[in-house]
Chain A
Amino acid sequence: MNLRGAGVSPGIGMGAAYVLTGAVPEPVAGSTYEGPPEPERERAVAALRQVAGELEACGNRAGGEAKEILKAQALIAEDPGLVVGVKALIDEGIAAPRAVYQAFAKYRDMLASAGGYLGERVADLDDIRDRVIARLTGHPLPAPPPDLGTGEPYVLIAIDLAPADTALLSKDVVAAFVTEGGGPTSHTAILSRAMGVPAVVACPGATEIPPGTRVLVDGNTGEVRLEPTESDVARHVSANDARRQRMTTGGPGRTRDGYLVQLLANIGGPGDLDGALAAGAEGVGLYRTEFLFLGRPEAPSVAEQEQAYRAALAAFPGGKVVVRTLDAGADKPLAFLPPAAPEPNPALGERGLRLFEKFPKVMDAQLEALSVAAAVDRAGAVRAGTAAAELQVMAPMVATAQEAKWFADACHTRGLPQAGVMIEIPAAALRAESLVTVVDFVSIGTNDLSQYTFAADRQSGALGSLQDPWQPALLDLVAMTATAAADNGKPCGVCGESAADPAMACVLVGLGVTTLSMGAAALPAVRTGLGAHTLDQCQLAAQAARGASTAAHARAAARSHLPGLVPLGV
């Protein structure tokens, strides 16, 4: 059996699985205490102070990067706003553990709604909260053991790991980290890279691995292999060695015979730009703009939006920056875009461009901000004698050519010459020909296109095989879209997960896709994989994949035409 997540710290780690469990339970809502409030308040403040002290001491012992991180965590435990909040709740009669829980919740919500870097700090906040509650209730805190008595490093598996859990571990103790939660800027990712221990995060099902199972963790590809055979191990290890030697992080994306395919990064805010640049992105292929809007009582001002867009343009002089307009819906409701009625099925509801049709002012403000950002960027480039970035704007959740034209016209009248749409609804792919003639480019969102094509909820793990990007029906829709775009001389990008798989990336190029956009971490592998094959090979691989009848066969058939992937281990 194998699991898959996101590799965030490269290398191969192997050992027995140790699953860290035993979360501190949430204190019951409405729980109260006996006696006067002063002792309860003192008890809570003392627990906060003790946890701060523990975290700082742990950091001092660990040193290096962990010391800095844990010092900041200690500051959180003693945050004056938090302490005031806890005391006020206790004065209302709420018992100390519950008061701590509720006081943290306020900040937790604030960070979670911000998403991105701040969103990933939620796990840190939860850990500090649980440590304080454990102190108050006497609940034991789960902690990774110093060894399993086997004399060998083990694979540490958890829902999420806190810096205090990982800081005192080392390569001699832990062979690899696997977490169900977390992202590329989570502390698990940062500390594991600093320790040189391979790590895979965002790996669903990891904590169900039976303890003691031998596990191979590939921090490059995100694969987690249970009870690997000797040949599995040899393959992953040699791939890792080859990868280290051959990975290229720079230069334009191109096939071995020089056919250029722009390799772009998906970003969720200006905070992701550094990572994109470091991975050698040629531009941004998907700038998700939701972070500007979520958790706000009203829409962000034009000036605030403009600043966020300009940051991306400034990062890629002469490069392409594709901004996706607000993709909100009933699953992420916004106060200023109230849903007309409750939606039992938000994926099929009023979302994306459909909301803009109801709230044109929000769209106008966003397009205005984009237009200003592009103008400021151009003026700056002229002054500096450099090239301006090429701004492209696209709308999500477009089903018909009529909607596409409405959006493109709105962009054009705002002085945004490059207007496109996402192809993520099967209807749009089926009639791609009529859509591409009214827009300037299209970009295929394979995740949603797959969900809508197979009527298989993205959130449902049980339907994973239907969401496989190698499903031939999905490849057919991609081919249909790319062909229609090429026939009309329009660019066609892919900005879904599938572009991040080096084999699939070659197939997409073979299908006629002209740009690939992915999470920055995947760029080096895709660039290298593409550079190892000719356009001809990519086309043969694409043909072979479409000729197969199942996803597994399609993958195998494509790979048989892509021999250059084997030595790369991707």
Chain B
Amino acid sequence: MAERKVTVAAEVGLHARPAATFVQTAVKAPMDITVTKGVGGTPVNGKSILQILGLDVRQGEDIVIRAEGEGADEVLDQLAAIAGTP
């Protein structure tokens, strides 16, 4: 299982456009993707916009994105870049 820890940089947090872009990228990936707010939070489905919004991640908060399987690192890099974009 590969993972990336990212500090969400967008002013609106992981909401609105950043959340939509994140989920649009996640749904294209063949494997399951989970997102956790902070360390030790409950993982949610990274392909579910409703669950991502429900995490209510604000600017400056950390998330952990996890995926497993072939190409996981590449997908995680993309998702981490989206979450880390101001």
Contacts and interface: CB of A to CB of B under 8 A. Distances in A.
Interface of A: 68-69, 71-72, 75-76, 79-82, 107, 110-111, 114, 117-118, 121, 270-271, 274, 307, 311
B45 A81 contact: yes
Interface in B6-60: 11, 13, 15-17, 19-20, 23-24, 27, 45, 47-51, 53-54, 56, 58, 60
A68 B20 contact: yes
A81 B56 contact: no
Given A81-B50, A82-B50, A71 B45 contact: no
Interface of B: 11, 13, 15-17, 19-20, 23-24, 27, 45, 47-51, 53-54, 56, 58, 60-61
Given A82-B50, A110-B54, A311-B58, A75 B17 contact: no
Contacts of B27: 80
B45 A75 contact: no
Given A72-B20, A118-B53, 16 more contacts: A69-B16, A75-B24, A75-B49, A79-B49, A80-B45, A81-B51, A82-B48, A110-B54, A111-B53, A114-B54, A117-B15, A118-B56, A121-B53, A271-B13, A271-B58, A311-B60
Given A117-B15, A274-B11, A72 B49 contact: yes
- Interface SS of B by simple majority: helix
A292 to B, nearest CB: 11
A270 B60 CA distance: 11
B50 A72 contact: no
Contacts of A72: 16-17, 19-20, 49
B17 A81 contact: no
20 contacts: A68-B16, A72-B17, A72-B19, A72-B20, A72-B49, A75-B20, A75-B23, A75-B24, A79-B48, A79-B50, A79-B51, A80-B47, A80-B48, A81-B51, A107-B54, A110-B50, A118-B53, A121-B53, A274-B11, A311-B58
B53 to A, nearest CB: 7
B37 to A, nearest CB: 10
- Interface SS of A by simple majority: helix
A121 B20 CA distance: 14
Given A79-B50, A107-B50, A114 B56 contact: yes
Nearest to B23: A75
A111 B54 contact: yes
A271 B15 CA distance: 11
A107 B11 CA distance: 24
Q: Which of B11, B45, B50, B54 lies at the interface centre, i.e. has the most chain A CB atoms within 10 A of its CB?
A: B50
Contact of A68 (B17, B23, B58, B61): B17
Contacts of A80: 27, 45, 47-48
Q: Which of A68, A81, A111, A311 lies at the interface centre, i.e. has the most chain B CB atoms within 10 A of its CB?
A: A81
B20 A71 contact: yes
